Amino acid sequence: VMTGAGISTESGIPDYRSEKVGLYARTDKKPIQHGDFLRSAPVRQRYWARNFVGWPRFSSLQPNPAHWALSNWERLGKLYWLVTQNVDALHTKAGSQRLTELHGCMH
């Protein structure tokens, strides 16, 4: 199974692209690009400062029924592996163990 931002919206993490509620619709801020992160100390500082400020709320969010269902499927042997682009650790909080986090994890 592969998951992306949409699975975590019900847990309170907005995605980037949803009309009227996504991050792109609510702000002119765009994600920091990898090359910019590598080339610029101020960009890295902004990235880590933004993460630091948002960490208390972000880390307190909990898995939703979709995360729990995938964890249950794994436990029942119906899911071989889970791949996510999310960095929110909600799959781990739900108990998924056979997991690859493509972009790493904020925790």
Can you give the pTM of this predicted structure?
Answer: 0.83
Choose the weakest-confidence range: 10-14, 24-28, 35-39, 85-89: 24-28
80 assigned to some structural domain: yes
Q: For this structure, is 107 an active site residue?
A: no
- Domain residue limits at 61: 2-101
Q: What tokens does 5 get?
A: 């931002």
88 assigned to some structural domain: yes
Residue at token pair 């071989």: 80
The whole-number average pLDDT for the span 80-103 is 96
What per-residue confidence (pLDDT) applies to 24?
73
What Å distances lie between residue 43 and 4, 8, 73, 87, CA to CA? 25, 26, 40, 19
The more confident residue out of 29 and 80 is 80
| 34, 67, 91, 103: the active-site residue | 103
Split into its structural domains, the chain has a count of 1
